[in-house]
Amino acid sequence: MTQTSTKSELIEVSSNPLTFHLHNSQVSYVFGVEDENVLAHHYYGKSVDHYSNLRRYPRLMRHFAPSPEEIETRDFSLSTLPQEFPGAGGADYREPGIVVEFPNGSRTVNFTYDSYTITDGKPQLAGLPATFAQKDEAKTLTVKLVENDAHLELYLSYTIFRDLPVITRSARVKNLGQQPVQVQRLASFSLDSPDNELNLLQLNGRYAQERNVTVEPLNTGIKILDSKRGASGHTQNPFCALIDRHATEFSGEAFGFCLIYSGSHKSIIQMDGYNQVRIQMGINDQNFEWWLEPQKSFQSPEAVLVHSDQGLNSMSQSFHDLFLNHLMKSKYSHQTRPILLNNWEATYFNFDEKQLQDIISSSHDLGIEMFVLDDGWFGERDAPDSSLGDWVVDRKKLPNGLKPLSDYCHSLGMKFGLWFEPEMISVKSKLYEDHPDWVLEIPGQRRSIDRSQFVLNLGRAEVRDYLLERMSYIIDHADLDYIKWDMNRNMTEVYDAKLSASEQGEVSHRYILGLYDLLEHLTDKYPDILFESCSGGGGRYDAGMLYYMPQTWTSDNTDAIARLKIQYGTSLLYPVVSMGAHVSAVPNEQTGRMTPLRTRGLVASSGNLGYELNPLNLLENERQEVKLQIKWYKAHRHLIQFGKFYRLQDPFETMRTAWMFVSDDKKAAVAMYFNIFSEASSPLHMLNFAGLDPSQKYSVNGEYTAYGSELMQIGIYPLTQNDGDFDSAVFELKAVE
Ligand code: DGJ
């Protein structure tokens, strides 16, 4: 057979057999058309310049391995073949990428290759957040598959970015038949691999302890990582990675996978009897069904696949780069963010205009750049049990409205921000009196309450219209610079009385599409507003929300020591600049722990710095220390928010944590070291830096000089005296002649 190939930069197509090779200098992804027009996966990993079909699946005699009747054979079966998008109900007994129910009750669906197109750049996904690219930054391959008997088409999209080891994937199914069909599962991607000496890394957790790093060996069977909450959730981030058994932060192969979606999600990791691994991610198919009318399509969210052959730091840096340059669409994505003071832990619901003015004035004196008025400014909101939905200023607390506070901030050169929780409703509210039917519930049945509130059905246009009108009014009248968008409970009794019985499986996804629609309108209408997303802290910290809102409140847990793990895990894929990190008072509200102000300052300065305390309660020496913290952060803010981030020591494995930030030109760096528990007669622990220029001489804290190679290979003793628990140190590195 002669092989011919069409070489275009990034995507190479060879014939006989038809093979697609997406590659740049860092990554290769290969698949091709097999016998019976099945789309088979060949290779995903470190870049190869040429692909000579070495990974075509061998013809092997297998038992209990059905083949198509026309070619009856025992050495070619879907049950073992690595595929690009497995169907359901046929010879492949592993997890299907798609399940569709047809009018005759059949749920068997299998696609074969039809054709392909290649486009420059990256088309947007209708109604969904997704990565974007200029025409010269990426290429997109769309492969059309068909299911002839069922009159369905399946479009698989693959985008490869020119300068990143990143492939993004999504799937769209179209009904060409005469009758509606019901889509019951559509993965965003499916990937089969013969590599099995792998560990699975995931980010799980709970409220106030989000994104714990958990690593376990892959074994035969199925592992599901999911959320059924109608939100990405505190408990399972829509991310996981398959990594070498011996991978570290600096070495070994890592395959990171992330879903750009904020609703219920599901990742399936399956190892079959032949130790072949299949991984899939997509909308959770529990309580999900989508009617597809003739000529209509259903689009899956996008998934991001990142490859690294240099360990986890390199994987994370690629995610950070992608999210900053190709996902966060806000004009603020590349701007340094203001240092804010949020009044939540300072006052909770109890404040008045005078008290807030005093807090603003005192914050200004400290060098703070934005004041954020949190929960409690609207309706009659003196406790969490009322007023959500009534986005009208509470004149008892603020008789003159919000404008004087906003004007006061602006007169001091500060910005003014405001908290909303748009997706919720309290029973004790005017909105509930007017529109009890706007709630997600099953009429006449018992419902679940959480934090005294219910979820508004954002799938309905009238609900979104109301919220857009109310929020626009407040934004315009209060001259807002920033919005914190909170969401404090998850969905239950997911039902919409306006839809038919058979459409109820659509409600949860319709909600998320509605949420995205509202965010699209709001962020388009108010491009100058800096949005921060929040869900009881980091309960919806996902790439979907980052598309609209370039920063997220990382966790309600502001304890500096707890934050080490939370921020460490979060940094696995989310950029440092997206992580809201605040200094709060001690004893800490969530853990009761006392930690030094210095350590609280350094942990919060490892992200997007803010304060969550009453500045009027600071002692004079604390005020002076906070002033210095703020001055220091301002001097290093660009480096911290946009430098290359390296994790150096893992709080999940040791009682220490360290990380650092290195400028693009490697001329400046800042490293931070945290010693969690102090030990008597402590062994000496070294700190090895990373990311420096080995042949460059650096001054360290202006105290001594050393070359990059020494600082990285040999390292330093970060703490030489025992200063008690929760001690920390910072190292400023500057290139010198
Ligand atoms: C949960 C958020 O995470 C907190 O920061 C605060 O805004 C409260 N909600 C207010 O109700």
What percent of the chain has pLDDT above 70? 99
CA of residue 335 to ligand 1 center, whole Å = 25
Distance CA 671, CA 688 (A): 10
Q: How far apart are CA 40 and CA 76, in angstroms?
A: 12
Residues 595 and 731 in one domain: no
- Angle of helix 403-411 relative to helix 461-478, nearest 10 degrees, comes to 50
CA neighbours within 13 Å on the CB side: how many for 473? 11
* Mean pLDDT confidence for 251-261: 98
Closest C-alpha among 674, 655, 659, 532 to residue 595: 674
Confidence of residue 51 (pLDDT cuts 50, 70, 90): very high
The answer to whether residues 611 and 697 belong to one domain is: no
Residue nearest to atom 6 of ligand 1 (CA): 344
- Residue 421: closest CA among 395, 473, 386: 386
Rounded to whole angstroms, how far apart are CA atoms 69 and 343?
A: 69
* Residue the block writes with tokens 């529109």: 435
Determine, yes or no, domain membership for 441: yes
pLDDT bucket at 661, cuts 50 / 70 / 90: very high
CA of 344, closest atom in ligand 1: 6
Same domain membership, residue 707 and residue 603: no
What residues line ligand 1, using a CB cutoff of 6 Å?
344, 374-375, 419, 486, 488, 534, 536-537, 553, 556
Predicted local distance difference test score (pLDDT) of residue 149: 84
The set of catalytic residues is 486, 556
Per-residue CA distances from 512 to 97, 435, 562 (Å): 21, 21, 31
pLDDT above 60 (res 358): yes
The confidence score (pLDDT) of residue 434 equals 98
Q: How far is the CA of 639 from the centre of ligand 1 (A)?
A: 29
pLDDT tens-digit map of 180-196: 999 999 999 999 998 88
At CA 241, angle to CA 240 and CA 243, rounded to 5? 155
Residues 626 and 689 placed together within one structural domain of the fold: no
Q: Which atom of ligand 1 is nearest to the CA of 612?
A: 5
Q: Does residue 647 sit within a domain?
A: no
Domain count, the chain: 3
Instruction: Give pLDDT, residue 446.
Output: 97
- Asked if 602 and 459 sit in the same domain, the reply is yes
What percent of the chain shows pLDDT beyond 90? 95
Residue with tokens 């996008």: 302
Ligand 1 atom closest to residue 537's alpha carbon, by position in its atom list: 3
- Whole-angstrom Cα distance, residue 467 to residue 463? 6
Distance of alpha carbon 278 from alpha carbon 268, whole angstroms: 8
In the reported structure, the alpha carbon of residue 420 is separated from the centroid of ligand 1 by a whole-number distance in angstroms of 10
Q: Clarify whether residues 114 and 215 are in a common domain.
A: yes
Of 641, 670, 703, the position where a domain reaches its end is 641
Number of Cβ within 10 Å of residue 248's Cβ equals: 14
Q: Model confidence over 127-165: pLDDT tens digits?
A: 999 999 999 999 999 999 999 788 999 999 999 999 999
Strands 415-420 and 290-292: unpaired
What value does the mean pLDDT take over residues 410-432?
98
Segment 409-427 shows an average pLDDT of: 98
Ligand 1 closest atom vs CA 374: 7
Q: Among 616, 641, 666, which residue terminates a domain?
A: 641
Using CA atoms, how far apart are residues 124 and 326, in angstroms rounded to an integer?
Answer: 12
Domain that holds residue 508: 331-641
CB 286 within 8 A of CB 227: no
- Which residue has the CA at smallest separation from atom 2 of ligand 1? 536
On whether the pTM is more than 0.95, the answer is: yes
Find the 372 Cα to ligand 1 centroid distance in Å.
Answer: 12
| H-only helix segments in 374-460 | 403-411, 430-434
Residue 235 lies in a domain: yes
For residue 79, count CB atoms less than 10 angstroms from its CB and return exposed for 0-12, middle for 13-18, buried for 19 or more: middle
CATH number of 100's domain: 2.70.98.60
Q: Which atom of ligand 1 is nearest to the CA of 384?
A: 11
* Average pLDDT of every residue of the chain: 96
How, if at all, do strands 209-217 and 198-206 pair?
Answer: antiparallel
For residue 410, the 8-state DSSP code is H
pLDDT at 2 over 50: no
The Å distance, Cα 488 to ligand 1 centre, comes to 8
| Length reported for the chain | 737
Strands (E), 518-568: 530-533, 551-553
Among 326, 358, 373, residue at a domain's last position: 326
Residues 446-485 pLDDT 10s = 999 999 999 999 999 999 999 999 999 999 999 999 999 9
Q: How far apart are CA 710 and CA 125, in angstroms?
A: 48
Parallel, antiparallel, or unpaired: how do β-strands 415-420 and 482-485 relate? parallel
Residue 171 lies in a domain: yes
pLDDT value at 328 more than 50: yes
β 27-33/152-161 pair status: unpaired
Q: Same domain, yes or no, for 400 and 309? A: no
Q: Indicate the top mutation candidate among 453, 488, 559, 611 to test ligand 1's pocket, ranked by most ligand atoms within 8 A of CB.
A: 488
**What whole-number distance in Å separates Cα of residue 620 and Cα of residue 232?**
43
721: domain CATH number is 2.60.40.1180
DSSP 685: -
Rounded CA gap, 478 and 361, in Å? Answer: 18
Instruction: Name the token pair of 426.
Output: 């309290």
Residues 202 and 351 in one domain: no
Q: Which residues contact 592 (CB under 8 A, 6 or more apart)?
A: none
Is 532 found in the same domain as 433? yes
Indicate whether 678 and 593 sit together in one domain.
no
Which residue minimizes the CA distance to atom 9 of ligand 1?
A: 536
The protein residue with its alpha carbon nearest to ligand 1, atom 11, reads 375
For the segment 93-133, what is each residue's pLDDT rounded down to a tens digit?
Answer: 999 999 999 999 999 999 999 999 999 999 999 999 999 99
Confirm whether 141 is domain-assigned: yes
Number of H helices, E strands in the chain: 12, 37
Distance from the CA of 453 to the center of ligand 1, in angstroms? 14
Helix, strand, coil distribution of the chain in percent, nearest 5: 20, 35, 45
CA of residue 556 to ligand 1 center, whole Å:
7
* Rounded Cα distance, 72 and 109, in Å: 20
| Whole-number Å distance between alpha carbons of 734 and 701 | 8
Task: Assess if residue 16 is contained within a domain.
Answer: no
Say if CB 67 and CB 35 are below 8 A apart: no
Ligand 1, atom nearest to 536 Cα: 3
Taking the CA of residue 342 as reference, the ligand 1 atom at the shortest distance is 5
Angle between helices 597-604 and 560-570 (to 10 degrees): 20
| Whether 495 and 541 share a structural domain | yes
The reply to whether 320 and 336 lie within a common domain is: no
Quick count: other Cβ atoms within 10 Å of Cβ 282? 26
How many other CB atoms are there within 10 angstroms of residue 422's CB atom?
A: 25
47 assigned to some structural domain? no
Angle between helix axes 620-642 and 597-604 (nearest 10 degrees) is 20
Identify the band that residue 70 occupies on the pLDDT scale cut at 50, 70 and 90: confident
Query: Which helix (H) or strand (E) segment is 168 a member of?
Result: strand 166-175
pLDDT at residue 443, rounded to an integer: 96
In this structure, what CATH number is given to the domain that contains residue 414? 3.20.20.70
Ligand 1 centroid to 483 CA: how many Å?
Answer: 13
Residue of 583, 538, 529 whose CA lies nearest to 556: 538
Question: 10 Å Cβ neighbour count for 676?
Answer: 17
* Residue 67 within any structural domain of the chain: no
